[in-house]
Amino acid sequence: MLSKILKIIGSILVLLTVTLFAVPYFFKDQIKAKITEAINKKVDAKVSFKDADLSLFKNFPNANVTLYQLDIINKAPFEGDTLVSIEEINLKMSIKELFKGEDEAMEIQGIATKNGMINILFNKDGIGNYDIAIKKEETSPASKPLTLNIKKYEIENFKFKYFDESSKIKMVIDSLNHQGTGDFASSKLDLVTKSTAKVTLDMDKVNYMKNVALTLDAVLGIDLDQSKYTFKENKALINQLPLEFDGFIQLVDAGQEYDLKFKTPTSSFKNFLGVFPAAYAASLDNVKTTGDFTVVGFAKGLYSDTTVPKFSIDIASNNASVQYPNLPKSIQNIIIDSKIINETGILNDTYINLDKLSFRIDQDVFNAKANIRNITKNALVDAALKGTINLANVSQAYPIKLEKPLSGILKADVTTKFDMQSVEKSQYEKINNAGTMSLSGFKYADENGKTMNITTALIQFNPSQVNLKQFDATTGKSDLSVTGILENFYGFIFKNQELKGNFYLNSNQLAVSDFMTTEEAGKTDAKAAAKTEAMKIPAFLNCSLTAKANTVLYDNLTLKNVSGKLIVKDEKLTMQDIKSSIFDGIIGLNGAVSTKGKVPTFNMDLSLKQVDIAQSFTQLDMLKKLAPIAGIINGKLNSTIKLNGNLDATAMRPDLKTLTGDLLGQLLSTTVNTTNSTLLTALGSNLKFIDFSKINLNDLKAAITFKEGMVSVKPFNINYKDIKANVGGTHGFDQTMNYNIKFDVPAKYLGTEANALIAKLSASDAAKMESIPVNATLTGNFSSPKISTDIKTAVTNLTNQLIAQQKERLVKQGTSALTDLINKNKKPGDTTKTVVPVTKQEVQTKAKEEVKAKAEDLIKGLFTKKKKVVDTTKVN
């Protein structure tokens, strides 16, 4: 009996489980249709979602509907702009909602969203892109696919973006997490909320807040009939600064009505330390403070298209001090008197007064004050800095997280008064700057051990310029002394404009590696290698640098007496009239490097004068690829090289695969060193008539072009004694080659027998035999060459030439001359009777046969050793 009951229960459970899995498939399309209908009836925008899913397990015993990748795209006047994009939306509802008819509304009890973005825009006309709701008269009242009876909602990892084109106000609320619990079925409820976010605020290109951490845990009294939200119990943190709120926000037809008050819950100076992000201020535990710090404020009035609430924020501290645990020094005599006030409800009437900011560390006192008005139209700034800071004391009194401690004395006595429009338009006559700022004895070391020591830096502020009067520093193996002028300092600081300037640099020695940044390649090994980061020329720089350096160290090269001008603009470095002594000669350079694109590019014109060939073509990888054989030549070179291509993004060296250009060169006072040349050794073994170590290359001019790893050499002539040669062909950066050498070889270099044969010719015939063409082909690669020649063909051609000349001469001499020639060449004991041809045809045929036989006998002797004659007279 028991077993039957268990089987029945088991069957019911299996059936129930199968049902829970199967039901979603029956209702999925119905739910998708109702959601699509609900959205389309409410908004005038392009709405889409990739898919919808139904689960009876996720929120059992309730059903859970999930929408994936919901996007709402604006129509005109914000055509194509994304208003909302949400990766995932979960809707919680009762299972009974699934069984309602098509005309019945589904009731939603809970909403949870994940990974979303809301993008609110206002154009110049004050029109917002969020107003996409279809007007009531356009909506059919008969159908309500969905109704809301929410008990809980949740927002996870949202980004809220706001930009007003007319006021230039930009706000980003990032990493927004928010949840609320309450009964929205009631017209009045208490909503329990928890929120965290990071806020960034910019007004007209000036940043006022950047990633400020906000936390708010609050109970909000909500009156849905009046659209009124009242702060009850609440606790807020701005970074670590605690605040309490009192009052309400109410939605009205014209905008939002504010009546809020806020203050710090206590007056302890620890409140001030909480303003700073935890990453910079560390923990507030066990920090000893004296004095007070308070933030008190209010916001009251209407926020609308034309007004803001009147508000006031007072920040004050009087004679406070702070002592961090485990730090030897304290910050004393801290005075803060600052206000942010709007008394009219017009945003531009907001003003900021920093009447005093002062503190002391040991005997060093620092003071600052500032006033900013007219903030949205044309901000007016009046500020002053005066005091001394020993940088070594800063990290001993305040927990700044630095890899290495700082040192040095910073002194400032500066006043400034200007308006933003004058800065933007570079109207320097309306800018009033005065004073100096100096830094001395500054020492800094990064995490990789690179150091920067600034002996003296002195800046003088003038109405139109910031004058770098002195900058003397050392780093690594380098020393530098810089002076110059910045012409647009405030435009750069406040308006994100270009930083313009002209500088002069002098150095005894500059090591390029001292100015390359590095990052740790890996954390697994304490001695992990460092790799060079990709260099990027800053887009904001527009300046020039005229430089002189006695020595510049770059890779394995040492450049002497370096001078020239560098211009940085539009992410491009232009080099003008760069000169340097190197390789016992002088190199000149004009060109540019650009990092504006994804891949850095360069183009350069190089001039080489009297440089040592062996040094330059063995130490510079680029030249080695262009002319590998040049390394065996001793002497000097004059050359012009035009080239362009890509740069390796990390080492900033030419990417040889992309190199394109041409080279013109002239060799001076040269000799050839064949000792270690596999190529010349192979050529010498194939061409016995030439000694490559004695080739004359003086004043040789050559032209090459290169592209995509291939080098083409324009044919050029060289001479060895009275042998002429023409060389041309191609080779690759991978050392493969395909060259042709055409020789004109005088016959006298082909041996004594050839000379004896040619001596028998008439003077005019011998003159025609002065040179023999010989061709050589070079393939393979420079370390393992393959040589082929056509010497055998040349010998055959020589034979044919001799035959033709002899034939022509004999025909002219006639029958008698032919008889004399034949009889003269008879061997002793030959009793054969000479038959003299009587016709011209017989004369030609006989001459051809006799002369060919004699000529071939002689030619064979040129390239075969004579057999030793055996003396048969000896008696054993």
pLDDT, tens digit, for every residue of 268-315? Answer: 888 887 777 666 555 677 888 899 999 999 999 998 888 999 999 999
The predicted pLDDT at position 2 comes to: 43
d(CA 153, CA 338): 40
Q: How many domains does the chain have?
A: 3
Q: How confident is the model at residue 516 (pLDDT cuts 50, 70, 90)?
A: low
How far are the Cα atoms of 91, 93, 180, 219, 872 from residue 189, in angstroms, in the given order? 21, 21, 12, 10, 139
The predicted pLDDT at position 806 comes to: 66
Verify that 800 and 757 share a domain, yes or no.
no
Verify that 717 and 844 share a domain, yes or no.
no
Q: How confident is the model at residue 370 (pLDDT cuts 50, 70, 90)?
A: very high
Domain boundaries, position 335? 251-401
Verify that 719 and 813 share a domain, yes or no.
no
Residues 556-587 pLDDT 10s: 788 899 999 999 898 888 999 999 999 999 99
Verify that 704 and 807 share a domain, yes or no.
no
How far are the Cα atoms of 201, 807, 841 from residue 817, in angstroms, in the given order? 115, 12, 15
675: region left, alpha or beta (phi > 0 left; psi from -120 to 50 alpha): alpha
Higher-confidence position of 96 and 451: 451
Higher-confidence position of 527 and 827: 827
Query: Where is mean pLDDT largest: 286-300, 620-634, 743-757, 855-869?
Result: 286-300
Closest to 591 in 3D by CA, of 611, 608, 577: 577
For strands 737-746 and 771-780, give the pairing. antiparallel
Cα-trace Rg, the chain: 46
Q: How confident is the model at residue 483 (pLDDT cuts 50, 70, 90)?
A: very high
Q: How confident is the model at residue 399 (pLDDT cuts 50, 70, 90)?
A: confident
Of 163-177, 206-220, 817-831, the poorest mean pLDDT is in 817-831
Show the tokens assigned to 345. 């409800």
Verify that 752 and 710 share a domain, yes or no.
yes
Is residue 81 situated within a structural domain?
Answer: no
814: region left, alpha or beta (phi > 0 left; psi from -120 to 50 alpha): left
Verify that 714 and 848 share a domain, yes or no.
no
The predicted pLDDT at position 863 comes to: 42
Verify that 812 and 753 share a domain, yes or no.
no
CB–CB of 737/779 below 8 Å? yes
Closest to 88 in 3D by CA, of 172, 3, 154: 154
For strands 585-594 and 106-122, give the pairing. unpaired
Is residue 602 situated within a structural domain?
Answer: no
Question: Which residues, 6+ apart, have CB-to-CB distance to 202 below 8 Å?
Answer: 168, 169, 170, 171, 208
The predicted pLDDT at position 849 comes to: 61
Q: Give the number of other Cβ atoms within 10 Å of residue 517's Cβ.
A: 12
Of 233-237, 444-448, 543-547, 614-618, the poorest mean pLDDT is in 444-448
Mean pLDDT of the residues in the chain: 79
Is residue 368 situated within a structural domain?
Answer: yes
The predicted pLDDT at position 310 comes to: 96
The predicted pLDDT at position 18 comes to: 40
Higher-confidence position of 509 and 809: 509
Helix 791-824 and helix 840-863, axial crossing angle in degrees, nearest 10? 130
pLDDT over 90 percentage in the chain: 27
* pLDDT (average), residues 246-271: 90
Q: What is the 3-state secondary structure (H, E, C) of 86-139?
A: EEEEEEEECHHHHHCCCCCCEEEEEEEEEEEEEEEEECCCCCECCCCECCHHHC
Among residues 350, 378, 401, the one where a domain terminates is 401
The predicted pLDDT at position 358 comes to: 95
* pLDDT (average), residues 200-226: 83
Query: Where is mean pLDDT largest: 169-173, 555-559, 832-836?
Result: 169-173
Closest to 240 in 3D by CA, of 211, 213, 201, 268: 213
Helix 752-759 and helix 840-863, axial crossing angle in degrees, nearest 10? 160
CB–CB of 289/267 below 8 Å? no
Is residue 409 situated within a structural domain?
Answer: no
Verify that 682 and 801 share a domain, yes or no.
no
Straight-line distance from the first to the last Cα atom of the chain, in angstroms, rounded to the nearest whole number: 134
* pLDDT (average), residues 737-763: 72
Q: How confident is the model at residue 530 (pLDDT cuts 50, 70, 90)?
A: very low
Is residue 589 situated within a structural domain?
Answer: no
The predicted pLDDT at position 640 comes to: 93
Residue 478 has pLDDT above 80, yes or no: yes
Is residue 56 situated within a structural domain?
Answer: no
Higher-confidence position of 718 and 1: 718
Higher-confidence position of 754 and 424: 424
Verify that 853 and 784 share a domain, yes or no.
no
Residue 766 has pLDDT above 70, yes or no: no
Among residues 371, 401, 431, the one where a domain terminates is 401
Higher-confidence position of 240 and 640: 640
Verify that 684 and 782 share a domain, yes or no.
yes
609 forms beta bridges with 586
Residues 662-676 pLDDT 10s: 999 888 878 787 776
Is residue 800 situated within a structural domain?
Answer: yes
Verify that 685 and 810 share a domain, yes or no.
no
d(CA 496, CA 240): 30
Verify that 776 and 810 share a domain, yes or no.
no
Residue 223 has pLDDT above 80, yes or no: yes
Query: Where is mean pLDDT largest: 83-97, 173-187, 246-260, 494-508?
Result: 246-260
Of 316-325, 545-554, 648-657, the poorest mean pLDDT is in 648-657
Q: What is the 3-state secondary structure (H, E, C) of 747-764?
A: HHHHCHHHHHHHHCCCHH
The predicted pLDDT at position 4 comes to: 44
Higher-confidence position of 66 and 42: 66
Among residues 377, 401, 425, the one where a domain terminates is 401
